[in-house]
Amino acid sequence: MIMEKGISSVEVLPSESSQVTAVKLVVKEPETKQTQRGKRVGFVLVHAGAGYHSESKAKEYKHVCKRACQKAIEKLQAGALATDAVTAALIELEDSPFTNAGLGSNLNLLGEIECDASIMDGKSLNFGAVGALSGIKNPVSVANRLLCEGQKGKLSAGRIPPCFLVGEGAYRWAVDHGIPACPPGIMATRFSLAAFKRNKRKLELAEKVETDLIQLKKRRQSNEKGSRIMCSACGRPPKATGGGKGGDQIELYSPENDSGTLDTVGAVVVDQEGNVAAAVSSGGLALKHPGRVGQAALYGCGCWAENTGAHTPYSTAVSTSGCGEHLVRTILARECSCALQTEDAHQALLETMQNKFIGSPFLASEDGVLGGVIVLRSCRCSAEPESSQEKPTLLVEFLWSHTTESMCVGYMSAQDGKAKTHISRLPPGAVAGQSVAIEGGVCRLESPES
């Protein structure tokens, strides 16, 4: 992998909204060795979620990202499809007890795990997804199988093969297609069970506070002066707040609460032929309503992949993370892919995060817009002017951006000895949900000599 440029800078960028602080950071990369003879090329970028990553668990987050990159690169070096490589990365991320996907996912209100996942192939533009899926250890494997089966054409009697299945139907389809079931007791880890118990207590406390507020308002409306209601949860007079915001509001998804993770894992890949693929997987929000489906399963919201074409000069792959409802209502994956067709990828992604996400009219009522993306774009380019050889090269730009407190990423090329990992954090003073951080790099992948 040869780095095309490496800039190390921190720059405060102007924004149309005074509430938005956009910070552009570009990672400086060392130059690596030349492509070995006969060795296949490719590149992978993964994320372990946009949310809050405590310093105490930083090592674990980075380690799982490193392993995920290595799994994808092993597939690419063996000549596998980009979709198989991105699936391999996601399976590694799902199997970690520290991520909110697959094993150890957030539990819903009933104490059950329901997962969402999707995958998209940039070459065929086919898509596969599952939502609210229980009983399967690796939801992305079902999504990938749906994609593969869909590429085979129509079913008997001319039926259209499904690309998106949910709930019990998704589970039955997976088992019928040879994907092993997983007992519910194995899916929940001691971390996810402990988080569920903490969040249930917070929910019960919040409901008691709200009940006391309602009682207080009714008594005030009845002009019952002189009485004093004490909060049954904390023993203090409840504070009446307009619209249920502020006051004694209990937050499940605050930065201080490491158990209320918004994390969704994902990966983007480009192979030797320039084909791209993207995938995403999530356990959803903590204490979500049973049956809730987030962005990780929805077309154009969780991931996007599209090869170069008549109207797309660049191949693009995108995977998103964060609050699913925010990402669904802005169709962020698709928006980012379209924006990356312009010349300046950094500026295009910044403007998309500012104008199409934080400043989106569809989220105007939200106090803070929480999300993150990893993006990759590539194109064929000629050899460097001073080079006498004309080896085909693939120019790859990779970026990540988030409005959450932090985002953990890893990346690796087929020529690297090991993956690089990083936890990106908003700078001091930046407000989560109102600020944007962007980092990334650019590299050239030279095709192997025959």
Read off the pLDDT of residues 44-84 as tens digits, 9 standing for 90 and up: 999 999 998 888 889 999 999 999 999 999 999 999 999 99
Instruction: Please give the Cα distance from 146 to 259 (Å, whole number).
Output: 32
H/E stretch holding 43: strand 43-51
At 239 the three-state DSSP class reads coil
Report the alpha-carbon distance of residue 299 to residue 278 in Å, rounded: 12
**What pLDDT was estimated at residue 185?**
80
| Nearest-angstrom CA–CA distance, 344 and 50 | 24
Q: Which of 87, 264, 352, 421 is catalytic?
A: 264
| pTM metric for this prediction | 0.85
Beta-sheet pairing, 265-270 with 276-282: antiparallel
Average pLDDT, the chain: 85
Q: Is the pLDDT of residue 394 over 80?
A: yes
Amino acid type, 406: S
> Using 50, 70 and 90 to split pLDDT, how confident is the model at 40?
confident
| The pairing of beta strand 21-26 with beta strand 435-446 | parallel
- CA dist 143 and 28 (Å) reads 35
264 is catalytic: yes
Only one residue has tokens 């980009």, namely: 82
Q: What are phi and psi of 239, to 5 degrees?
A: -95, 130
What is the average pLDDT across 8-35? 43
Dihedral (CA of 44, 26, 359, 368) sign: positive
Percent of the chain with pLDDT over 90: 65
CA distances (Å), origin 350, targets 22, 65, 128, 359, 423? 8, 24, 28, 12, 19
The encoded tokens of residue 420 equal: 């690089």
Strands (E), 287-338: 303-306, 315-322
CB 408 within 8 A of CB 45: no
Residue 3 has pLDDT above 50, yes or no: no
145 in Cβ contact with 173 (< 8 Å): no
Quickly list DSSP for 362-430.
GGTT-S---EEEEEEEEEEEPPPTT-S----EEEEEEEEEESSSEEEEEEEETT-SS-EEEEEEPPTTP
> Would you place residue 224 in the very low, low, confident or very high pLDDT band (cuts 50, 70, 90)?
low
Highest mean pLDDT (candidates 178-182, 204-208, 377-381): 178-182
Determine phi and psi for 77, rounding to 5 degrees. -65, -25
Coil, helix or strand at residue 253: coil
Is the Cβ–Cβ distance between 310 and 271 less than 8 Å? no
pLDDT value of position 235: 53
- With 0-12 CB in 10 A as exposed, 13-18 as middle and 19+ as buried, what is 211? middle
pLDDT at position 390 is 61
What is the pLDDT, as a whole number, of residue 264?
Answer: 87
